[in-house]
Structure 1
Amino acid sequence: MKPRLLQHLLENSAAQCPDKIALRHKNRTWTYAELWQKARNLGQGLRQRGVVRGDRVGICLDKSLEQVAAIFGALYADAAFVILNNVLRPEQMRHILQDCGVKLLITEEKYLGNIGATAAPPIYGAELNKILETPGKPTPHNISEDIANIIYTSGSTGLPKGIVLTHRNLIDGAEIVSAYLKITADEKILGLLPFNFDYGLNQLTAALYKGATLVLFQYFLPNSLLKILADEEITGLAAIPPIWTAVFGGKLAETSKLHLPQLRYITNSGGKLPVPIVQKIRATFPQADLYLMYGLTEAFRSTYLDPREVDRRPESIGKAIPNVEVEIINAAGQPCRPREIGELIHRGACIAKGYWNNPQKTAEVYRPNPLLPPENQFLETVVYSGDLVYKDEDGYLYFAGRKDNMIKTAGYRVSPTEVEEILLRLNGIQDAVVFGVADAELGYKIRAVVTLQTKISAEKIKEHCQTLAPPYLVPQEIFIADSFPLTASGKIDRTSIIEEYQAK
């Protein structure tokens, strides 16, 4: 059956290989048949608890077999799933729950304090286990254009914004990526990245689409990652720059004696890899194909570099993925010449619906295709990435930077405004300016410059941020200035401050 809904990926594999292991986590496994049945059981239980078509079901669970069942259980209830990263602080969690109006929340007792009092009743513990074991056979009514998932990512003006993905978006992503990665049912793919990250979620959907096995793993230290690669005979590994630099950029990992002949492919996304790290990956895993990929949550995946080109062009993000076209345009909306920097736009498959509850932001990013005749541009929507890119004479693309002030750090997009708001909640801070500085490990690190009303140490300011924010929102560097220069209109002159402190 051609998949029409995301859960059809699971259904098809359960029909073809019911007894094959779909998921492994530590010493536990579920077959495809078991996962399919538990997802349907949960879907039925959610419906019995009032979830109806179009509702949003929140999921705040540790990486586990149950987390995957919760994703597909929500879909069997004709709802959309919304995954809350458990590193978020209470304020961010409550914002997400309220912003998208979560109907029910599947969670663990240990997270109830972080979540606090919300309109979404929690399901956890014995109640969740009972639902998973109570037979159910719900009949879905959704179509492929219905919402399957809302992924929350930092916006340019503060709290996270929800990006709306349909069933078709997620199916297209699974089909396209599994095709160019040549994924088969024989793979054992490491589920290293969180499922609230589109790149991490794709490891799950691609594995289920192909009937492969996904090994769930919570990353802690480089050597633990290398050990599970060997112990589980992993064939497919996806990671982000901070993980690669931890493995190959420091003294924590023992890679000299590493022998992983079964590792067939490696992928990187979520930020640009430094060339020395690319070269170390190639030297350590010469038998593995290395795919350097680029994408944004608003359109999932845009480009990849063919592994045969990695040694020749290690800084490139490649060319468009199948069924997608990317173009680099200038300020006039015209295609750029080779080596001319412009904004990348994405057309074709995987384009999300827009931003939840935010028509203004949606209109800024999802726009009519400027390359069509003016009278017909409205017929097609493309994604304006906000990324500055150029192409070489052979059409290979290279990332040059961001148009806006978003900071890409450790695989996360961070809003300077959100970090500034956290800083300004500390009594004694008068003003704050936050920006990103290139960093070999993180992609970009967060640097903050503050002025004070009363004397506070940089260490105290960092402790304040660590109390209120998840680790990826905490500045790595904090500078204290006597005062901030102002523009002619009396506003803080952010440009001159960033120029002054960028080189420090």
Structure 2
Amino acid sequence: MAPAPDPQPRPLDHLAERGAPDAPALVLRERTLSHKDLRTRVARMAAWLQARVPEHGARVASWAAKGELTCLLPLACARAGLVHVPVNPLLKRTQVAHILADSGAVLLLATEARLETLEAGDLPAGCKALGEGGALEAIERFDGALDPSQADPDELAAILYTSGSTGRPKGVVLSHANLWLGAASVAHYLGIENDDVTLAVMPLSFDYGQNQMLNTWYAGGCVVPLDYLFPRDVAKACARHGVTTLPAVPPLWVQLTEIDWREEAVAPLRRLTNTGGALTIDLVRDLRRIFPQAKLFPMYGLTEAFRSTYLDPALVDSHPTSMGKAIPFAEILVIGDDGHVTAPGEEGELVHCGPLVAQGYWQDAARTTERFRPAPAQSEYGGTAVWSGDRVRRDANELLYFVGRRDAMIKSAGNRISPQEIEDAAVATGLVAEAVALGVADERLGQAVHLVVRAAADAADAEVALPRALAADLPNFMQPKVIHWRETMPVNPNGKLDRTAIAREVAA
């Protein structure tokens, strides 16, 4: 492997300056931007943003499919001294309104069709909305450019919203250093070069999706953003653009192994990367069969620390279920219930230490204190660590293996889903009196959402009306695969809904 990456973080927008000027940087539908174009357009977009939002540290949200605006905003906001809040384009107005209000966004840039779905009161006071087309036209006309920033690397650069085990999405606060070092780390261990082409299929609001761009630009490579409808769209794009790096999550890998791949799509691929859920042994075998020349990188991460571990491709065949070892700039400890580092084979909590640890949750001191705690005494980095809530064990070769989660998070199709958010949406319809959302093992999704409900006393045609209401209020990835109707719901001795008993009934 190449020498360790430079541990000195820089302002995030400096990523626009790393590639060779004439080399391709971003392949859009209508044109390809070179790295020189990338520098020019980031400089102009940053100047336009600063003129429109002069308050340093103000939040700018984006809610649009992959394109020039959403791809360049992370760097342009950083250069303008603003904080980018990328919103998953699959979210609907209820979730978007929460994110805008919680982040205190002062500007929302979104596709016109999405803006039309917003209702009165969805935009917080002081927040202006502008359509994507109008914004790009205004930026094109703007006469100005900002030079690369001299921002403090510890300064806030982005807030990524992720679902918690309870309640609405919470904002993870990321600095320039977090994002820069994450890009440097991943580019290093993946071996990304300046002639690599990354197919960006993951949502840019996802830490994995954001990094697929940033690590490629760190290496001076090219990014091809793709919002796909069908798995064959991914294969076609690989062939069309000579894709060398393909990131995905397990449910997409399952779909990609079920289609025919032409040689021109397979041949250029150098590496496949996976996170957002573990690969099964059968899936690993299928990927190795279809893409024999490509290195397979299983990875594990959490938004609160970006990425924690990866498995060396040379070990995939012999240790297909392992999470691997710590990535560069990460220190991973396994801490037992007694507060000490566990011995090989003993289960404990994965604790992530080092400079990739996020700054906490946006304006949420209580949850920050719960998850971001002082590093264990055994840590070489010290400072603040993320206590993941994930139970793991380490073998005699220092390889990590996932055991389970402490919380009730549902992990479906690479998305972390809050059960309470689904439950709240169901009760808010007025059609049900009680609701419990669960994740049930599913071959294609990892976990499928199951919703167990008791109808409200005065609800008419609830079984027909509830799916329609949830379809209107929740994004597709949160939709229950199955709704179970109950006349009574089991309770525990404290009078609370007995989730364990309910889960047992559903699994039976």
State TM-score, norm by structure 2.
Answer: 0.93
TM-superposed deviation, 1:195: 0.9
C-alpha deviations, 1:441-482, integer Å up to 9, x for none? 111111111112346464542222111000111111111112
Q: What's the counterpart of residue 116 of structure 2?
A: 113
Is the CA contact (8 Å cut-off) linking 1:70 and 1:106 kept in structure 2? no
Is the CA contact (8 Å cut-off) linking 2:329 and 2:356 kept in structure 1? no
Q: What's the counterpart of residue 487 of structure 2?
A: 482
- CA 1:286 to 1:38, structure 2 compared with 1: closer, same or farther past 3 Å? same
Match of 1:175 among 184, 193, 200: 184
Match of 1:94 among 88, 94, 97: 97
Q: Which amino acid aligns with 2:145?
A: K
- CA 1:378 to 1:221, structure 2 compared with 1: closer, same or farther past 3 Å? closer
Q: What's the counterpart of residue 421 of structure 1?
A: 424
Is the CA contact (8 Å cut-off) linking 1:365 and 1:383 kept in structure 2? yes
Match of 2:238 among 220, 229, 234: 229
Is the CA contact (8 Å cut-off) linking 2:431 and 2:466 kept in structure 1? no
Measured in 2, the distance between the counterparts of 1:216 and 1:432 equals 38
Q: What's the counterpart of residue 290 of structure 1?
A: 296
C-alpha deviations, 1:322-347, integer Å up to 9, x for none? 22221111212112232322211111
Measured in 1, the distance between the counterparts of 2:102 and 2:261 equals 45
Matches within 5 A, 1:11-160: 11-13=17-19, 17-117=20-120, 118=123, 119-124=126-131, 125-138=133-146, 140=149, 142-160=151-169
TM-superposed deviation, 1:271: 0.6
Matches within 5 A, 1:252-401: 253-255=259-261, 260-372=266-378, 380-401=383-404
Measured in 2, the distance between the counterparts of 1:47 and 1:378 equals 36
Measured in 1, the distance between the counterparts of 2:460 and 2:399 equals 51
RMSD: 2.0
Greater Cα shift, 116-125 or 429-438: 116-125
Measured in 1, the distance between the counterparts of 2:440 and 2:431 equals 25
Q: Which amino acid aligns with 1:216?
A: P
Measured in 1, the distance between the counterparts of 2:221 and 2:263 equals 28
Is the CA contact (8 Å cut-off) linking 1:333 and 1:371 kept in structure 2? no
Q: Which amino acid aligns with 2:495?
A: G
Is the CA contact (8 Å cut-off) linking 2:353 and 2:381 kept in structure 1? no
TM-superposed deviation, 1:290: 0.2
TM-superposed deviation, 1:430: 1.4
Measured in 1, the distance between the counterparts of 2:41 and 2:355 equals 31
- 5+ residue gaps, structure 1, are none
Measured in 1, the distance between the counterparts of 2:192 and 2:310 equals 15
Matched, 1:500 2:505: yes
- CA 1:427 to 1:185, structure 2 compared with 1: closer, same or farther past 3 Å? same
Q: Which amino acid aligns with 2:476?
A: P
Q: Which amino acid aligns with 2:312?
A: D
TM-superposed deviation, 1:145: 0.5
Is the CA contact (8 Å cut-off) linking 1:150 and 1:164 kept in structure 2? yes
Measured in 2, the distance between the counterparts of 1:212 and 1:75 equals 20
Is the CA contact (8 Å cut-off) linking 1:47 and 1:77 kept in structure 2? yes
Q: What's the counterpart of residue 200 of structure 2?
A: 191
Measured in 1, the distance between the counterparts of 2:11 and 2:59 equals 16
Counterpart secondary structure, 2:168: strand
Is the CA contact (8 Å cut-off) linking 2:354 and 2:381 kept in structure 1? no
- CA 1:390 to 1:238, structure 2 compared with 1: closer, same or farther past 3 Å? same
TM-superposed deviation, 1:276: 0.8
Measured in 2, the distance between the counterparts of 1:323 and 1:142 equals 21
Measured in 1, the distance between the counterparts of 2:21 and 2:381 equals 46
Is the CA contact (8 Å cut-off) linking 1:64 and 1:216 kept in structure 2? yes
Is the CA contact (8 Å cut-off) linking 1:351 and 1:382 kept in structure 2? yes
Measured in 2, the distance between the counterparts of 1:488 and 1:182 equals 55
TM-superposed deviation, 1:138: 2.5
C-alpha deviations, 1:354-398, integer Å up to 9, x for none? 00010111111111122349xxx9952111011111122222111
TM-superposed deviation, 1:194: 1.3
Measured in 2, the distance between the counterparts of 1:451 and 1:210 equals 54
Counterpart secondary structure, 1:357: coil
TM-superposed deviation, 1:12: 3.0
Is the CA contact (8 Å cut-off) linking 1:53 and 1:142 kept in structure 2? no
Measured in 2, the distance between the counterparts of 1:459 and 1:387 equals 38
TM-superposed deviation, 1:313: 0.9
- 5+ residue gaps, structure 2, are 1-5
Is the CA contact (8 Å cut-off) linking 1:24 and 1:65 kept in structure 2? no
Is the CA contact (8 Å cut-off) linking 2:79 and 2:146 kept in structure 1? yes
TM-superposed deviation, 1:156: 2.0
Measured in 2, the distance between the counterparts of 1:92 and 1:217 equals 23
Measured in 2, the distance between the counterparts of 1:472 and 1:126 equals 30
TM-superposed deviation, 1:96: 0.6
Match of 2:218 among 204, 209, 215: 209
Q: What's the counterpart of residue 242 of structure 1?
A: 251
Q: Percent identity?
A: 37
Counterpart secondary structure, 1:344: strand
Instruction: State how many pairs are aligned.
Output: 494
Q: What's the counterpart of residue 3 of structure 2?
A: none
Q: Which amino acid aligns with 2:166?
A: T
TM-superposed deviation, 1:141: 5.1
TM-superposed deviation, 1:3: 5.6
TM-superposed deviation, 1:50: 3.1
C-alpha deviations, 1:287-339, integer Å up to 9, x for none? 00000000000000000000000011111111111222211112121122323
State TM-score, norm by structure 1.
Answer: 0.94
Counterpart secondary structure, 2:349: strand
Matched, 1:200 2:205: no
Is the CA contact (8 Å cut-off) linking 1:30 and 1:65 kept in structure 2? no
Measured in 2, the distance between the counterparts of 1:458 and 1:320 equals 48
Is the CA contact (8 Å cut-off) linking 1:207 and 1:213 kept in structure 2? yes
Q: Which amino acid aligns with 2:158?
A: N
